[in-house]
With several copies, the nearest count.
Chain A
Amino acid sequence: MKKVEAIIRKSKFDEVKAALHQVEVNFFSYWDVTGVGNEQQGHVYRGISYSTSEIQRRFLSIVVSDEFLDRTVKAILSSAATDRVGDGKIFISNIEEAYRIRTGDKGSKSLN
């Protein structure tokens, strides 16, 4: 099993979610993070204008069986891109074991 961690624009979340559902990835968790990267965002506050590279992003954590990996990555790549700096990253890592708490099931059958 693999863990796919995707850091995307918040405004792209709905599209990414739809794309994942399309390829039948219906199980994941997400939260919001602050990303430090290339993109800059302008602000003004009480007469001080400033720009920050700290931008709110959404972090998706999706654990999939090995055969689902490819289509998951593709679904995200195609749905999250805007071609402007700041689209985010996808990281893949290995998951050694998975359990479904409700049943105690192990392995990839616990994933969905």
Chain B
Amino acid sequence: MICTALVFIMHLGFSFLEIGLTRQKNTINILFKNFFIITMGLLVYCLGGFNLMYPGFEEGANGVLKFAGFGITAPEGGMEFGYADGGYTWWTDFLFQGMFAATAATIVSGAVAERIKLSSFMFFSLIYVGLVYPIVGSWKWGGGFLDRWGFYDFAGSTLVHSVGGWAALIAIYVLGARVGKFDEQGKPKALLGHNIPLAAAGVLILWLGWFGFNGGSVLSADPALTSLTLVTTSLAAAAGGASAAMFSTLLYKNYDLTMFMNGILGGLVGITAGADQMSPTDAILIGSIAGIIIVLGVALIDRLKLDDPVGAVAVHLICGIWGTLAVGIFGSMAGWTQFLVQLAGVGIIGAFCVVSSGILLFAIKAAMGIRVSREEEIKGLDLAEHGMDAYADFRLNQH
């Protein structure tokens, strides 16, 4: 239950991070998107997503798609404490999973910030949270075919973060870069985040939330396992931050706080798949590598002329993949077959996400348009779509 609260507060973390790393003229818009995701995500997940994700696959079924009906009603016995392995009830489970589901959409939100049309984004995220995410989820956590293959993803490096990350990647490709992100020669320019303290607070809040994310995914109140999980989670985060900070200091001769922050998140995403399988040393290794991946990943995205304001692709997609594969490399499940299973899982889920989000996004683009007009973008979405200022009493610069 507490873990649910912690996962809930991650949404504050994401909002802060996203606001902080973008320009003030789009702040209201970002908050609106995030509020939409939390509220409607929960409602949609309640309406159908949960039953799509945990349909109760029959023995012997292929476990690809099944839907257990609309709405939520506790199964018989679900109200008792001993539901599933014990330690939590059916209701807790729903809420916890609902918060997870919303996370996938939030990841996309960060990547597409400052230029996506609000209505298109809302439509997209409804479908993605209500349909794509639970289908993928059912393959593993719902007991579907990936689960039967032995694919392991403890708390969602792939099932949550990559699922969000793939959609983010496709979305920024479809959308194109923000006005001013690349100059005529295609050289990337810096569009500065406007409130770094909030972004930093977002990172710490996310770290806090991850205690719930990973700790809660133990799905039982086994204190030994839970506490090990918290230790690995924290150490990976610390190692990710430290290595990203050091590596970027070497690379750019500059103490770059934003890399530090992204490194911490990268470490957290990286450990998520195997948080309960790793020793502290493994966790530090996984985190450190994630930190380096982040620094290179952010640069790579720029090189590809993609525009990802908050670094969502590097953090959630690339580190998500890394984390999932790491289960086959480090820790108590390490092994060549496990690695291949992990790779297969990453590939299948990736393909599915790319295809489904691609179709969805192109359809939206064709049907209703996906990007605001150039003029609205320059003016800022807050004024253009909401007629409201985020900081009415402050004198502001405009970029």
Interface residues in chain A, defined as those with a beta carbon under 8 Å from any beta carbon in chain B? 10-11, 13-14, 31-32, 34, 41-50, 56, 58
Contacts and interface: CB of A to CB of B under 8 A. Distances in A.
B379 A11 contact: yes
Contacts of B251: 47
Given A11-B379, A14-B180, A42-B387, A47 B396 contact: no
A47 B398 contact: no
A42 B251 CA distance: 15
Contacts of A14: 180
A11 B397 CA distance: 11
A43 B193 CA distance: 13
A41 to B, nearest CB: 7
B398 A43 contact: no
A43 B190 contact: yes
Nearest to B258: A46
Nearest to A14: B180
A47 B295 contact: yes
Interface string B295-318: 100110010000000010000000
B302 A49 contact: no
A47 B379 CA distance: 23
Interface in B362-399: 375, 378-379, 383, 386-388, 395-398
Contacts, number: 59
Interface residues of B, number: 30
**Top 3 nearest A-B pairs by Cβ distance?**
A45-B190, A44-B254, A10-B398
Given A11-B378, A11-B379, A46 B259 contact: yes
Contacts of A50: 189-190
Contact of B190 (A34, A46, A56): A46
B248 interface: yes
B336 interface: no
A44 B398 CA distance: 19
15 contacts: A11-B375, A31-B395, A32-B398, A43-B387, A44-B386, A45-B192, A46-B258, A47-B251, A47-B252, A47-B256, A48-B188, A48-B302, A50-B190, A56-B396, A58-B398
